[in-house]
Amino acid sequence: MKILLTGAGGDVGRRLRPMLRQAYGEIRVSDRDPLPDLHPGESFVAAELSDPVAVARAVEGIDGIVHLGGFSVEGPWPVLLKSNIEGCYNLFEAARAAGVKRVVFASSNHAVGFYPREQTIGPAVPVRPDSRYGVTKAFGEALGALYADKFGLRVTCLRIGNVGDAPIDRRRLAIWLHPADLMQLVRIGLEHPDIRYEVLYGASDNARGWWDNQRARDLGYRPQARSEDFAAAVLARVEAPDAVGDRYQGGAFCSQEFGAGPSGD
């Protein structure tokens, strides 16, 4: 399979690249700006996601795309509109036009961040975005469903928690995702024969988790990392309380601008 990784220069992209090279050999990597650390086995194509011509060039001859590209936190609407709405549309449309078979879309827990922490949610719950950023991720999931149902693209949306070597705070004990576990989910999206359209949660084996990820397990996902191994150290740290953020799964993304009123004042 010829694989394209978008957003290859970001933190998650840099972690995935060696694992993708190992699994698929030569990979194509893209980002807006040239990558300072291009490795043997990687070919680079520059692509500003809001430029459909550049995106079409990046997906040419590709079988499977891992789409991490875009703006990865809350931000001003004009920025999110370009990177995550127009950019995501350009990516799916270029994939369809080029006959790409599979897309793994990096969605986010922030598409469902306003669910309370007491509630366990599965992939079928209505979206409850906690930010403009979360809305763009819900848009990407909807777009993925359209391209799967109408055009037969095989699409996997990963509602990723927080990727890193270890959970960095209490909230992340519930949503942490070790990079090797992320790679397992990516491979399921790129290879599993039953994939048509799936929403899966990007979480490791987290005893304090909020997500029912049975569907991922049914597809063969067996997370190896356990956030509980870090719990004692994380719980020993003092964290500033966040009256709104601590109630909801999305944490600080929920409390930012909370109650500002419709005109933002």
How many Å separate Cα 72 from the centre of its chain?
A: 9
Q: Which of residues 59-88 bind ligand 15L (CB under 6 A)?
A: 72-73
Number of residues that bind ligand 15L (CB under 6 A): 6
For the chain, the maximum distance between any two Cα atoms, rounded to a whole number of angstroms, is 52
**Any catalytic annotation for residue 248?**
no
Q: From the list 84, 136, 162, 213, which residue makes contact with ligand 15L (rule: CB under 6 A)?
A: 162
Interface with ligand 15L, residue 6, by CB under 6 A: no
Please count the residues of the chain: 265
Interface with ligand 15L, residue 110, by CB under 6 A: yes
Asked if 172 contacts 162 with a C-beta cutoff of 8 angstroms, the reply is: yes
In whole angstroms, the minimum distance from the beta carbon of 110 to ligand 15L comes to 5
Q: Which of residues 163-222 bind ligand 15L (CB under 6 A)?
A: none
In whole angstroms, the minimum distance from the beta carbon of 81 to ligand 15L comes to 17
DSSP 247: T
Asked if 226 contacts 208 with a C-beta cutoff of 8 angstroms, the reply is: no
Residue in 24, 115, 133, 201 annotated catalytic: 133
Q: From the list 109, 131, 213, 227, which residue makes contact with ligand 15L (rule: CB under 6 A)?
A: 109
Q: Which residues pair with 121 in a beta bridge?
A: 211
Residue 219 in 3-state DSSP?
coil
- Residue with the two structure tokens 């705070």: 169
What are the residues binding ligand 15L (CB under 6 A)?
A: 72-73, 108-110, 162
